[in-house]
Amino acid sequence: MDKNLNFDEIKKRRTFAIISHPDAGKTTLTEKFLLYGGAIKLAGSVKGRKTAKYAVSDWMEIEKERGISVSSSVMQFNFDGYCINILDTPGHQDFSEDTYRTLMAADSAVMVIDGGKGVEAQTIKLFKVCVMRKIPIFTFINKFDREAKDPFELLDDIESVLGIRTCPINWPVGCGKRFKGVYDRRKKHMLLFKAAQAGMKEVETNELSLDAIQTVIEKDFYDKLIEDMELLDGASDELDMDKVSAGELSPVFFGSALTNFGVETFLKYFLNMTTSPIGRNANGRIIDPMKDSFFSAFVFKIQANMNKAHRDRIAFIRICSGKYIPGMEVYHFQGNKKIRINQSTQMMADERKIVEEAYAGDIIGVFDSGIFSIGDTLCADGEKIQFEGIPTFAPGYFARVRQIDTMKRKQFTKGVYQIAQEGAIQIFQEFNTGMEEIIVGVVGELQFEVLTYRLKSEYNVEVKLDRLPYEHIRWIENPLEVDIDKIQGTSDMKKIKDLKDRPLLIFINPWSIRMVEERNPKLRLSEFGRD
């Protein structure tokens, strides 16, 4: 127990993930947040797109080439008495598993939606993992300085596609060239639209009461606003913070990140409404950061070779209780070993810095010599707790992977295994055929490309991928009770095994799964691999 722990440090922490469809404005919004926190001086420093500089989160070459954020990163800054940790997430839904892991480390999520597009088809999967995680989701509908969809339609979109209720906190008046501003439903005043100049922090705000608005905006806009308010007051959900906390109701804000309009209001409301670090489940009880003062944390992400010169590997850990200080000795539950963590780093907008101290709610990157796996627990010696694991998503794409140059078997195996340890791919082998060939399963197809690219650039191995037609996977829950060799399969079924030699079945057609279950009544199949 740390008797000197300052719980106020923990109370002021806000740890959240930002999630969006590519191009909806996540980078721009993050940048504006950092600007408020004084973490950067000029907008454009996070991602000077035109100067061919890249976002601090874009660590990997491939991200630069493709312009998508493959890996998530973390940024910390202070604003308005809060200490804020922003977790960036990949904008492509092929990496939704990575997004899910990042959400495990977050206490809430901000979902950025392009007002002109609404919930985009390619984003549904990505946003759904947010809903699955059952944490508070705050929606920022962006780009109202451009032509946008009808706000009611946008809300409908979120509700019907994502299955979550919405509660608009403010409401847009007009859009595009005729964007007048946003009306704050709680304070009952309107913020008149005025774009900030590029790089400026403050937007000169002009707040008007409903009466005063009449004299400033055209009658048709005013009438529409009154009509919309009546409709909303009658039909939309009340702001019920219990429902928000349970991830059932999303407070919605409208604005324009680029022109810095509505960003500060959003940030302030959000910080006020969202929670300080929430507890995590370990050994059937909640480790409460406001009560438990011992250090505890779990690994939610492993990233290799961020610095090619060192070929290092960093395990990102979310601190769940207590305080971290450099050089502290902790117990690594899965390794059943005491270890010392020192070299930990944290992202500060545009640089990596050494962490002097960190508290529950913070995310730090610790040097990993290869001992950590995703979901591992670290805790103060003597506590021996284990946090609930992070689920593995069932891969839906499979390929046989082999190295082109047979002399490079060693590098190939090392590369594939290390990348699998990071959770980017899952590896399997043929079951009982004696063949050593590696079958890779991924959640999103783009991960195959990342694998090929990384094997070449980091391990100097060229590979050939032969895609397999399988799309569904099932773990065998009771391998000791059934004779795997005698399973009555179907023509589109294949037996494989995972790294722990556990047998699995993969299928081309979903209906075959039922047929196999019917043919083998003793067989129990599961969609998830449990550790």
Residues touching ligand G4P, count (CB under 6 A): 18
Shortest Å, Cβ 451 to ligand G4P: 23
Q: How far apart are CA 130 and CA 108, in angstroms?
A: 9
CA-nearest of 334, 413, 292, 433 to 7 is: 292
Q: How far apart are CA 163 and CA 161, in angstroms?
A: 6
In the bound state with ligand G4P, the residue whose beta carbon lies nearer, of 126 and 461, is: 126
Stretch binding ligand G4P (CB under 6 A), from 26-34, 206-214, 234-242, 441-449 = 26-34
What is the per-residue burial (b if ≥16 Cβ within 10 Å, else e) of 54-78? bbbbbbbebbeebebbbbbbbbbbe
Phi and psi angles of residue 304, each rounded to the nearest 5 degrees, phi first: -100, 155
Q: Does 89 bind ligand G4P (CB under 6 A)?
A: no
Query: Minimum distance from CB of 269 to ligand G4P (Å)?
Result: 18
Binding of ligand G4P by 22 (CB under 6 A): yes
Asked whether residue 510 is marked as a ligand-binding residue, the answer is: no
User: Closest separation between CB of residue 453 and ligand G4P, Å?
Assistant: 20
- 256 near ligand G4P, rule: CB under 6 A: yes
How far is residue 122's CA from residue 125's CA, in Å, rounded to a whole number? 7
Q: Which of 56, 154, 258, 424 touches ligand G4P (CB under 6 A)?
A: 258
Given candidates 12, 13, 26, 472, which one binds ligand G4P under the rule CB under 6 A? 26
In a 3-state reduction of DSSP, which class is residue 145? coil
Residue 472 labeled ligand binder? no
> What part of residues 446-485 is at the interface with ligand G4P (CB under 6 A)?
none
Q: Which is nearer to ligand G4P, 115 or 277 (CB)?
A: 115
DSSP lists the bridge partners of residue 345 as 354, 365
Judged by beta carbon, residue 137 or residue 451, the one nearer ligand G4P is: 137
Q: Is 143 assigned to a binding site?
A: yes
Q: Which helix (H) or strand (E) holds 162?
A: helix 151-162
Strands (E) located in 384-520 = 397-403, 426-430, 438-442, 463-468, 472-476, 493-498, 503-507
* Residue 66 binds to ligand G4P (criterion: CB under 6 A): no
CA distances from 137 to 90, 132, 243, 302 (A): 17, 11, 10, 25
Answer yes or no: is 92 a known binding residue. yes
Q: What is d(CA 531, CA 511) in angstroms, rounded to the nearest whole number? A: 27
Please tell me whether 377 is known to bind a ligand: no
Give ∠ CA 380-381-385 in degrees, rounded to 5: 70
CB of 302 to ligand G4P, least distance (A): 24
x/- map, 91-130, ligand G4P, by CB under 6 A: x---------------------------------------
Please, which of residues 136-155 interact with ligand G4P by CB under 6 A? 142-143, 145-146
Q: How far apart are CA 475 and CA 43, in angstroms?
A: 49
Q: Do the annotations mark residue 26 as ligand-binding?
A: yes
**Least distance CB 181 / ligand G4P (angstroms):** 14
Find, among 490, 313, 329, the residue nearest to 418 by Cα: 313
Interface residue with ligand G4P among 13, 19, 20, 403 (CB under 6 A) is: 20
- Do 252 and 239 form a contact (C-beta atoms < 8 A)? no
Report, in Å, the least distance between residue 145 CB and ligand G4P: 5
Please, which residue, 50 or 310, has the CB nearer to ligand G4P? 50
Please say which residue, 91 or 277, places its beta carbon nearer to ligand G4P.
Answer: 91
| Nearest approach, Cβ of residue 309 and ligand G4P (Å) | 28
27 is in an annotated binding site: yes
Q: Which is nearer to ligand G4P, 257 or 450 (CB)?
A: 257
Please state whether beta strands 280-282 and 285-287 pair in parallel, antiparallel, or not at all (unpaired). Answer: antiparallel
Structural tokens at position 414? 């090392």
* 457 CB burial (10 A radius; 0-12, 13-18, 19+): middle
- Does residue 49 interact with ligand G4P by CB under 6 A? yes
Confirm whether residue 189 is marked as ligand binding: no
Please identify, using beta-carbon distances, which residue of 191 and 394 lies nearer to ligand G4P: 191
Per-residue three-class SS string for 221-252: HHHHHHHHHHHHHHHCCCCCHHHHHCCCEEEE
521 has binding-site annotation: no
Considering beta carbons, is residue 151 or 361 the nearer one to ligand G4P?
151
Q: d(Cα 425, Cα 448) in Å, to the nearest integer?
A: 8
Known binding residues: 20-27, 88-92, 142-145
Binding region for ligand G4P (CB under 6 A)? 20, 22-28, 49-50, 91, 142-143, 145-146, 256-258
List the binding residues for GTP: 20-27, 88-92, 142-145
